[in-house]
Amino acid sequence: VTDLEALKKNVNNLVMMPGEQILHALPQEYRVDGDSNIINPRGMYGSRLEANFHIVVGQIASIKNIARCVEQSELKVGDITLEPLASSDSVLGDDEKDAGVVLVDIGGGTTDIAIFKDGIIRHTAVIPFGGKVITEDIKEGCEIIEKQAELLKVKFGSAWPGENKDNEIVSIPGLRGRAPKEISLKTLSKIINARVKEIIESVVSEISNYQQNDPRKKLIAGIVVTGGGSQLKHMGQLVEYLTGMSTRIGYPNEHLASGYQKELASPVYATSIGLLSMALAETMEPMAYDPNEIVLPESESAPEEAAQEAVLEEGAPEQEGSTKAKPRKDPIWKGFVSGIKQWLEDDDIE
């Protein structure tokens, strides 16, 4: 176990509030013998290693419910990942993460935010409403059923109310032989615009919480909007207008091989493709030791501080009886995974 791994393990052993569980411990910066602002201390010499971590915590009940849904589909849960972390892997480039960028993933139930700077995730937040709330607003405002409201949003919805004229009308079939209901597209866009503005105001608030007027935290790459809610017409223009930051819609085509189905490049699949990409990268990562040949002792040391900071000092006695693993053979599944990867990269796939 390396010093960095031991430090992260100490953070993961922090005692949380009842009913909470640590999902991610994301290192922000390291300090070696007092030298700060070190991004990667690997290979450096020192006697005292410290780090600041951004800790992502989830409710245990919610985590178990998600796992149960997956298992009921006859699948196994490999890991739990925060939604914007997965989406960022499929829609953001490394240059954007380095320059500073805000990812806004507008899903059905929530809007998730992740802020990157210097290639590191610096801030995360979850806004408790998303596309479903917009559908509910349309349902109540137009006095129609939810299915019709969702269809209206997808087919005619616009985040910019000035686009539609007063005489643009869409007819909704009546229920059980009742007369059709006529709805103004301008009224529809006003309903959508009001809720989208509320979401973006929350995004701006989270950006301010991160920056705190610090010029070093400038987000040069602006905002990337993804998820199903990003497909509303003029969403990018409205976000740019309200925030004053350059904005684009994030399509999950960063890792898709040529010949992929066009439907997969929709922002709706940003999180799914990101999860698959992260899982594949983790599967292909070589292991330094064979877990069947060596058993590492459990660390009994507690972190020196209970905040989002951990310290590891040199001088602990070495564990006896540990042997370096023999060079292990390639696992059976390696050829299988390579075959799948080759299949995904095949340009002739339609």
pLDDT tens digits along 92-137: 999 999 999 999 999 999 999 999 999 999 999 999 999 999 999 9
pLDDT in tens, 14-70: 878 899 999 999 999 999 998 888 888 888 888 899 999 999 999 999 999 999 999
pLDDT in tens, 154-194: 999 999 988 777 788 999 988 888 888 999 999 999 999 99
The residues that bridge with 102 in the sheet, in sequence order, are 115, 223
Taken in order of first residue, the domains within the chain and their CATH numbers are 1-80+286-350 (no CATH), 132-194 (3.30.420.40)
Concatenated DSSP letters of 213-260: T-GGG--TT-EEEESGGGGSBTHHHHHHHHH-S-EEE--S-SSPPTT-
The answer, yes or no, to whether residue 320 has pLDDT greater than 80, is: no
Residue 275 pLDDT: 93
Burial (CB < 10 A; 0-12, 13-18, 19+), residue 101, is buried
Contact predicate 130/108, CB 8 Å: yes
What single letter denotes the amino acid at residue 286?
Answer: P
More confident residue, 33 or 294: 33
Mean pLDDT over residues 279-291, rounded? 63
Mean pLDDT over residues 240-258, rounded? 91
Residue 251 pLDDT: 95
Contact predicate 16/271, CB 8 Å: no
pTM of the model: 0.75
The answer, yes or no, to whether residue 245 has pLDDT greater than 70, is: yes
CA torsion through residues 214, 217, 223, 227, sign: negative
How far apart are the C-alpha atoms of 262 and 305, rounded to whole Å? 50
Residue 344 pLDDT: 46
DSSP state for residue 317 in the 8-state scheme: P
Residue 92 to residues 7, 55, 127, 190, 293: CA-CA distances in angstroms?
A: 28, 21, 20, 31, 39
How far apart are the C-alpha atoms of 299 and 286, rounded to whole Å? 24
Residue 37 pLDDT: 84
Label residues 208-246 b or e (16+ Cβ within 10 Å = b): eebbeeeeebebebbbbbbbbbbbbbbbbebbbebbebe
Cβ-proximal residues to 312 (8 Å cutoff; 6+ apart), any chain: 3, 6, 7, 10, 48, 49, 50
How far apart are the C-alpha atoms of 235 and 13, rounded to whole Å? 42
Residue 338 pLDDT: 52
Residue 313 pLDDT: 52
**For residues 197, 199, 201 and 206, what is the CA-based torsion angle, rounded to 10 degrees?**
-160
The residues that bridge with 225 in the sheet, in sequence order, are 104, 249
Residue 346 pLDDT: 52
